[in-house]
Structure 1
Amino acid sequence: MKKIRVGVAGYGTIGQRLADGVALQEDMELVGIADLAPTLSLQALRENDMIGANGVEYKLYLVEGADPAAFAAMDIPVAGTFEDLCRSVDIMLDSSPAGVGAKNKAIYERLGVKAIFQGGEKNDVADVFFHGYANYEQGLGQDYLKLTSCNTTGLIRSVDCLDRAFGIEKVAITIIRRVADPGDYHRGLTNALQMEKAPTHQALDLMTIMPHISATGILVHTPVTHGHIITVVATGRNGRKITREEALAAFSAHPRIRVVTVDAGFKGNASFFKYARDLGNRRGDMYEIGLWADSVVESGNDIMYAINVPQESVTIPETMDAVRAALRMQPTREEGTAATNRYLKIGRFKNAQ
């Protein structure tokens, strides 16, 4: 089997996990990663002899402006330049800081290489604003795809799940958003909640991906780091009432949704992070969103529920879906998402219950 050759630009919070995700795909080959400075992430990788997930060697390439001497001083091996990496791949996964990906696109276009951008870039960087479950087929054969943000990715998973099962007319969301990733200091120390103007971009992005649904939402920043919590009120199409039992059955069948209860110990966002670590998941990551069965309630014809979004890892499966769509590895969402789920072992816990 010929493997799709993949490179990763930016080895930060998302880039590390993208590299891991590619290394776990049996039909993909991680050619290398690219970065600017010898960060702690790269220092840790060097201490592990440049070996990442699945025993794969992560070869490092330097972007323009990087100082080779800084890497040499820390004994971090360098395989070549960013353009060397781009010339060696079928597709690049760009997780560079916001705005840098758009600049990198000029390189991708000049070298004729496809690319997938993360949620921090503006939508116009890509041909398609992409989600593996909601609009997989729109990404087929496209040169440039852009992923939704972590919150939007998890939100769309749950809304798409209900929409395909019952038909959804509109949703109203409230996002309780973590303020920074673990280890980030740039936002400082805080003891406050911060409001954003409504509607939040996640609601607008959902409507871009799923234009048949009306969405609005409010977002509150919270001084925590492990995960977002989103509450959703969903209205069925044409007055269709969705019962609690129907919603739970649909959620429970979805591979990328983990239905949990408070009584089982899932008291909040930190519970998921601890559980992922106890499972032995690399970096304490969880690819599934968590959904509290206790939160699923009926309000007239509407259905309300709450989800937990592990912001560092939730977009990784959808990015693997994007590779599959852009390279036409699988022609349908069912086949593409199933392949990603199989290699990332997503949903395996459902078979163990």
Structure 2
Amino acid sequence: MKKIKVGVAGYGVIGQRLADGVALQDDMELVGVADVAPTLSVRALKEKGMPYKLFTAMPDNTAALDEAGIPISGSLEDLVQQVDIMLDATSAGIGLKNKEIYKKYGKKAVFQGGEKNTVADVFFHGYANYEKGLGADYLKLTSCNTTGLIRAVDCLDREVGAEKVAITIIRRVADPGDYHRGLTNALKIDKAPSHQAVDLMTIMPHVEATGILIHTPVTHGHIITVVLTPKKDISVDEAIAIFEKHPRIRVVSIDEGFLGNASLFRYARDLGNPRGDMYEIALWKDSVVKSGKDLMFAINIPQESVVIPENIDAIRAAMEMQSDRESGTSETNKYLGIGTWKK
């Protein structure tokens, strides 16, 4: 079996998780990762024995990498020439610049949610529009919140149809270990509608969506409350049963001890998941209620790791490894071990 060769640009919060995710796929080969400086993530890579080759995305910084004793296998352009497709997890705006390198060598690429939609041919989600990504040269993923939100909405939409959704996002202000947002004791509200609602409509144009976003001074995940109007009236128990069938949705309850975002982060660590990551979103069965025909529920978004499966899906679609969403997402789930806890 010919393995698809993959490179990762940007070895930060998302990039290192993408590298780990690709390395777990039996039908893919991680050629290497690229970064610009001896960051903590790169230093940790060295201390772990360099399981992945490192390429420098900024040759002018080679001296700093050499001084830190970090071996370099070449430049970003060298990496691009050796792969079939790149996963670009660089800071917003850098991906657009890197695209010129990918185009120069005729290589496909997948960009993250921070890039503008115009960077790609397809705004992609593994479950909601997998087939639109088939054979595409450039795909862009949705943000972490939008990725998890679409999983839940698409899940119900495929079973009973969804007319409209209204969301409130309680958004963590920064990732664990980040200091750039400062030390705060405040909540901050954005203008409505939130981009996640707009992005959902871009992926699922048949669903009317709107939303509000509130920034909170926490780090371990977002919580989204959703009010969804189904086309077919269903009970709470029927809705929960639909959610429970989805491999990337973990249905939990307060009675089990899942009191909030921190409970889920701790549980992921207790499971032994690297970095406390969890690929699934969590949905509280205790939160599923009805108001007339409308369904309301709450989900938890593990922002550092939730988009990894959809990135792998994007590789499968772009390289036409599997031709439909069911087989493509199933392969990704199998190698990442997603859904095994349900069996």
TM-score above 0.5, yes or no: yes
Instruction: Give the C-alpha shift of residue 88 in structure 1.
Output: 0.1
Whole-Å Cα distance in 2 between the matches of residues 110 and 119 of structure 1? 23
Count of aligned pairs: 343
Q: 1:93 aligns with which of 75, 87, 91?
A: 87
Secondary structure class of the residue paired with 1:173 = strand
Give the corresponding residue for 2:25: 25
Mark the runs of 5 or more structure 2 residues left unpaired by the alignment: none
Instruction: Give the C-alpha shift of residue 137 in structure 1.
Output: 0.1
Which stretch of structure 1 is more off in the superposition, 311-320 or 40-49? 40-49
Instruction: Give the C-alpha shift of residue 66 in structure 1.
Output: 4.0
Q: 2:193 aligns with which of 199, 202, 207?
A: 199
CA contact (8 A) 2:35 2:58 kept: no
Give the corresponding residue for 1:327: 319
Whole-Å Cα distance in 2 between the matches of residues 319 and 247 of structure 1? 27
Q: 2:227 aligns with which of 226, 233, 245?
A: 233
Give the corresponding residue for 2:36: 36
Are 2:159 and 1:165 aligned?
yes
Once the two structures are superposed, what CA deviation does each residue of 1:160-193 show, in whole Å capped at 9, x if it has no partner? 0000010000000000000000111111000000
Mapping 1:169-188, distance limit 5 Å? 169-188=163-182
RMSD (Å), alpha carbons: 0.6
Whole-Å Cα distance in 2 between the matches of residues 135 and 9 of structure 1? 25
- Structure 1 residue runs of 4 or more that deviate by more than 6 Å after TM superposition: none
Give the corresponding residue for 1:190: 184
Secondary structure class of the residue paired with 1:84 = helix
Once the two structures are superposed, what CA deviation does each residue of 1:271-318 show, in whole Å capped at 9, x if it has no partner? 110000000001110000000000000110011000000000000000
CA contact (8 A) 1:22 1:28 kept: yes
Give the corresponding residue for 1:55: none
Once the two structures are superposed, what CA deviation does each residue of 1:87-128 show, in whole Å capped at 9, x if it has no partner? 000000000000000010011111100000000000000000
Q: 1:109 aligns with which of 72, 89, 103?
A: 103
Whole-Å Cα distance in 2 between the matches of residues 219 and 347 of structure 1? 29
Instruction: Give the C-alpha shift of residue 64 in structure 1.
Output: 2.9
Letter paired with 1:168: A
CA contact (8 A) 2:33 2:54 kept: yes
Give the corresponding residue for 2:246: 254
Give the corresponding residue for 2:261: 269
Give the corresponding residue for 1:133: 127
Are 2:305 and 1:313 aligned?
yes
CA contact (8 A) 1:37 1:66 kept: no
Whole-Å Cα distance in 2 between the matches of residues 309 and 258 of structure 1? 11
Letter paired with 1:34: A
Whole-Å Cα distance in 1 between the matches of residues 58 and 38 of structure 2? 14
Whole-Å Cα distance in 2 between the matches of residues 188 and 214 of structure 1? 36
Whole-Å Cα distance in 1 between the matches of residues 13 and 307 of structure 2? 11
Whole-Å Cα distance in 1 between the matches of residues 81 and 189 of structure 2? 44
Letter paired with 1:281: N
Instruction: Give the C-alpha shift of residue 151 in structure 1.
Output: 0.1
Mark the runs of 5 or more structure 1 residues left unpaired by the alignment: 52-57
Give the corresponding residue for 2:65: 71
Give the corresponding residue for 1:118: 112
Secondary structure class of the residue paired with 1:287 = coil
Give the corresponding residue for 1:6: 6
Secondary structure class of the residue paired with 2:268 = helix
Letter paired with 1:299: S
Give the corresponding residue for 2:150: 156
Q: Please give the TM-score of this superposition, normalised by the length of structure 1.
A: 0.97
Secondary structure class of the residue paired with 2:82 = coil
Whole-Å Cα distance in 1 between the matches of residues 313 and 143 of structure 2? 15
Whole-Å Cα distance in 2 between the matches of residues 24 and 63 of structure 1? 24
Whole-Å Cα distance in 2 between the matches of residues 91 and 162 of structure 1? 32
CA contact (8 A) 1:321 1:336 kept: yes
Letter paired with 1:293: K
Give the corresponding residue for 2:339: 347
Secondary structure class of the residue paired with 2:254 = coil
Instruction: Give the C-alpha shift of residue 65 in structure 1.
Output: 4.7
Letter paired with 2:41: S
Whole-Å Cα distance in 1 between the matches of residues 303 and 60 of structure 2? 28
CA contact (8 A) 2:144 2:301 kept: yes
